[in-house]
Amino acid sequence: MSSPTTTRPASDAARVAQAAREVVEAHDPLSVPREELFGALYDAGLAWVHHPEGLGGLGLSRGLQPVVDQIVTDAGGERMFAVNPIGYGMGAPTVVEYGQDRDQVGAWLRPMATGEEIWCQLFSEPGAGSDVAGLATSAVRDGDEWVVNGQKVWTTLAHVARWGMLVARTDPEQPKHRGLTYFVIDMTQPGVDVRPLRQMTGQAEFNEVHLHDARVLDAHRLGEVGAGWKVAITTLMNERTAIGGVTGRRGSGVIGEALGLWRAHPDRHTPVLRDRLAALWTRAETHRLTLARARRTASAGQPGPEGSVSKLVGAELNQDVYEFCMDLLGPDALLYDDWTMDRGRVHTDPNSTVQQRFLRSRANTIEGGTSEVMRNILGERVLGLPGEPRSDSDRPWKEVPRG
């Protein structure tokens, strides 16, 4: 369902900017509900400008989306990604690319854009984390439906999600990458049991999900039966690009937080901390410029393996910046405001403390693919290095030993 995009002419940039300004003028982010603003952006084709018209887009370059985001945030609004990160960043491109019915895709996209329906990603399992293709959750055809049984884990936002992107095994006779099928499952139906996994931040943002005879309409299948790995790659590539960070202004983002903290505590400045901050600022600026260049290069199509660069670098940079912040705070770094379970907040919550963000950053090098997996992807798919030996690529999944 995706439409081809072209390079970015100045007239398109001006058109997008003008449309975004008109939306925020008519729907002031500081005075209207978030859903109203985001709905107006969707209707104007500004939710995902690279989507086809009528599906939240204008059929333009992906590289124009930051124009919209900047105008909205400058007016006091939020980024859609912060409200519904998995739906906005990973679900949308997947359903547009592989959805069977345009009306169904549209019915998913608008509440996804407004944040009224949160999405989650049902990939990882207790026995298949980094090796997603080795998953064991099964889906068996029953007329116009599929019956799903299995367990997923580390499912972000499953506790508030309306829809889940599910990869399940539909043919155990095939090798692990060829026996998978991709579905969109209703998370509120009987047979879907969501259990929280409490984190050291005090929140329970991740969950384990048990599926017992849960049903999925075949009309909610994305892609062909048995081609789920191909669809999953679309989700994963978009996930890594989204997690890698947003191209902002110089000195913005996490390094901006470190700079603000530095200015607020002049009594704690030391030459060593000053040198660390300068080095972090240089890394952050290099990452920002590299990400901007990569996004312009990839703006005409789906993200490729290069998105793993931004994910890898951004994750490790986040951790190092927050370690610096904690060192700068000194004994105050040990103070936390609340250890109660607050399952309503997500890790992008602007009201979280530096201490909470430091703890949350420990997950950055695990979620969306570990740093080790990212380095393998970059080595094999970008640098062309030999892949790791794999003994199970051509064996039927049911014959592969599992722990």
Predicted local confidence at residue 215, as pLDDT: 98
- CATH number for the region 233-382 comes to 1.20.140.10
Cα 108 to Cα 34, 94, 269, distances in angstroms: 18, 11, 51
Centre a 10 Å sphere on the Cβ of residue 130 and count the other Cβ atoms it contains.
12
Both tokens of 49, joined, read: 């400008």
339 pLDDT band, cuts 50/70/90, is low
3 pLDDT band, cuts 50/70/90, is very low
329 pLDDT band, cuts 50/70/90, is very high
pLDDT at 158 exceeding the cut of 90:
yes
Q: Where are the domains positioned within the chain?
A: 10-117, 119-226, 233-382
Half-sphere exposure of 309 (CA within 13 A, CB side): 19
383 pLDDT band, cuts 50/70/90, is confident
> Nearest Cα to 306, choosing from 230, 235, 238?
238
The answer to whether 157 and 346 have CB atoms below 8 angstroms apart is yes
pLDDT at 62 exceeding the cut of 90:
no
Looking at the DSSP assignment, which residues form a beta bridge with residue 142?
Answer: 145
Half-sphere exposure of 3 (CA within 13 A, CB side): 18
Predicted local confidence at residue 368, as pLDDT: 75
Q: Which helix (H) or strand (E) holds 222?
A: strand 221-222
Compute the distance between CA of residue 164 and CA of residue 209 in angstroms, rounded to an integer: 11
5-19, 104-118, 379-393 — which one is most confidently predicted on average? Answer: 104-118
Both tokens of 272, joined, read: 């060593």
4 pLDDT band, cuts 50/70/90, is very low
Average pLDDT over residues 10-29: 94
* Beta-carbon contacts of residue 116 (< 8 Å; ≥ 6 apart): 35
More confident call, 305 vs 255:
255
Residue 388 falls in the annotated catalytic set: no
Half-sphere exposure of 205 (CA within 13 A, CB side): 19
Predicted local confidence at residue 222, as pLDDT: 98
Residue type, 289: L
Average pLDDT over residues 150-176: 96
Half-sphere exposure of 208 (CA within 13 A, CB side): 11
Compute the distance between CA of residue 134 and CA of residue 291 in angstroms, rounded to an integer: 31
Determine what percent of the chain is predicted with pLDDT higher than 70: 88
Predicted local confidence at residue 18, as pLDDT: 96
pLDDT at 204 exceeding the cut of 90:
no
Compute the distance between CA of residue 53 and CA of residue 45 in angstroms, rounded to an integer: 6
The answer to whether 194 and 154 have CB atoms below 8 angstroms apart is no
Q: State the DSSP string of 117-174.
A: SEEEEE--BTTBSS-GGG---EEEEETTEEEEEEEE-S-TTGGGEEEEEEEEES-TTS
pLDDT at 286 exceeding the cut of 60:
yes
For helices 10-26 and 65-74, what crossing angle results, to 10°? 30
Q: Kindly report the pTM of this predicted structure.
A: 0.84
Q: Which CATH superfamily is domain 119-226 in?
A: Butyryl-CoA Dehydrogenase, subunit A, domain 2 (2.40.110.10)
Cα 66 to Cα 276, 280, 304, distances in angstroms: 30, 24, 19
Predicted local confidence at residue 318, as pLDDT: 94
More confident call, 307 vs 145:
145
Distance between terminal CA atoms of the chain?
40
Pick the CATH number of 10-117 from 1.10.540.10, 1.10.3720.10, 3.30.420.40, 1.10.1060.10: 1.10.540.10
Cα 2 to Cα 9, 68, 151, 251, distances in angstroms: 20, 20, 32, 35
pLDDT at 362 exceeding the cut of 60:
yes
Both tokens of 212, joined, read: 């017992």
What is the distance of C-alpha 193 from the center of its chain? 23
Burial of 401 (0-12, 13-18, 19+ CB in 10 A): exposed
More confident call, 236 vs 38:
38
Both tokens of 93, joined, read: 């491109």
209 pLDDT band, cuts 50/70/90, is very high
pLDDT at 349 exceeding the cut of 80:
no
Centre a 10 Å sphere on the Cβ of residue 142 and count the other Cβ atoms it contains.
11
Q: Quick one: DSSP state of residue 369?
A: S
Centre a 10 Å sphere on the Cβ of residue 329 and count the other Cβ atoms it contains.
18
Both tokens of 220, joined, read: 């909610």
Compute the distance between CA of residue 235 and CA of residue 238 in angstroms, rounded to an integer: 5
Average pLDDT over residues 239-268: 81
Q: Identify the active-site residue in 97, 117, 205, 239.
A: 239
Mean pLDDT (the chain) is 88
More confident call, 178 vs 311:
178
